[in-house]
Amino acid sequence: MNHTNENKKKLPESIHYLTLRQLLGWLGILLPIILAAWSLFGACGEVQESISAYYYTPLRNVFIGILCSIALFLVSYTGYPKEPNERVSENVLTNIAGFLALGVAFFPTKFSETWIDTCHTCSYKSVFPEAFRYIHYCSAVLFFALLAFISHEKFTIYKGPLTEKRIKLHGVYRACGKAIVISIIIIIIYFLLEQFKIADAQKYPILNQCPPIFIFETIALWAFGSSWLIKGKAHIWLTYGWRIAKHKVSKAP
């Protein structure tokens, strides 16, 4: 009887954290979809060169709002307590990642004069100092690096027996972490190629039609979102519905 009551007390907390993970996952997946859909079906007609470039578009509040929501959920999520062999807990990492998300949101990237005026109607084009640009870049790289580490290292910590299904799940978490890291490395390389005029959008128009930075930022966000959705057991919710799933999550790997 005591054991049953204890499980009942733990269930709401379990549901709470699973819901936070799912919300984080959906926000990561939906952000580039919303931005791209507006670009392709709105007045602009083309996807912007990066997700950060949407700060200067009419979707500025959507961009900032979703990043602030991600930051709020990351800070609210406490994660698992620190193990004796761990240097830093999952809670500390998610808190830092949350504040880095705010850095990405409120320290915008540099406005480019080559951007189309019909897309970039924001009046803040020349207000921000140059330092904001570097804070934005550093925040974005560190944000994704922490998310990759959490997925690759923290989500794969498990005290119980490693069943075949658990091993597959750990493989997915590690794959998501690697996808984030590879995407960010490619973005940094492309950014450097742009600075040295090797990757020139005017010379290679395909770079405007299929902007590499936006594409690999999307891959990184989808990898982040997928990792957190699986950790939040969204597949059980989608399969059984909330009423049944809430009684299955404690037994599911």
**Residue 49 within a domain:** yes
Cα 27 versus chain centre, distance: 7
**Residue 106 within a domain:** yes
Q: Which two tokens stand for residue 220?
A: 């990184």
183: exposed, middle or buried (Cβ count in 10 Å: 0-12, 13-18, 19+): buried
Q: Of 158, 171, 181, nearest to 253 (Cα)?
A: 158
Distance, CA of 110 to CA of 131 (rounded, Å):
10
What pLDDT digit, counting tens, does each position of 38-71 carry?
Answer: 988 876 778 888 999 999 888 889 999 999 999 9
What letter represents residue 93's amino acid?
L
The reported pLDDT for the residue numbered 121 is 64
Q: Are 220 and 184 in contact (CB under 8 A)?
A: yes
Number of compact structural domains in the chain = 1
Instruction: Indicate if the pLDDT at residue 4 is higher than 50.
Output: no
The reported pLDDT for the residue numbered 194 is 82
What pLDDT digit, counting tens, does each position of 181-206 carry?
Answer: 999 999 999 988 887 777 766 666 66
What pLDDT digit, counting tens, does each position of 123-179 carry?
Answer: 566 668 888 989 999 999 999 999 999 999 999 988 778 889 889 999 999 999 999
Instruction: Give the C-alpha distances (Å, rounded to integers) separating 99 from 45, 111, 164.
Output: 33, 23, 36
What pLDDT digit, counting tens, does each position of 128-139 carry?
Answer: 888 898 999 999
Range of the domain at 23: 14-245
**Residue 137 within a domain:** yes
Report the predicted TM-score, pTM, of the whole model to 2 decimal places: 0.85
Percent of the chain with pLDDT over 70: 77
**Residue 238 within a domain:** yes
**Residue 78 within a domain:** yes
**Residue 7 within a domain:** no
**Residue 182 within a domain:** yes
Distance, CA of 223 to CA of 177 (rounded, Å):
7
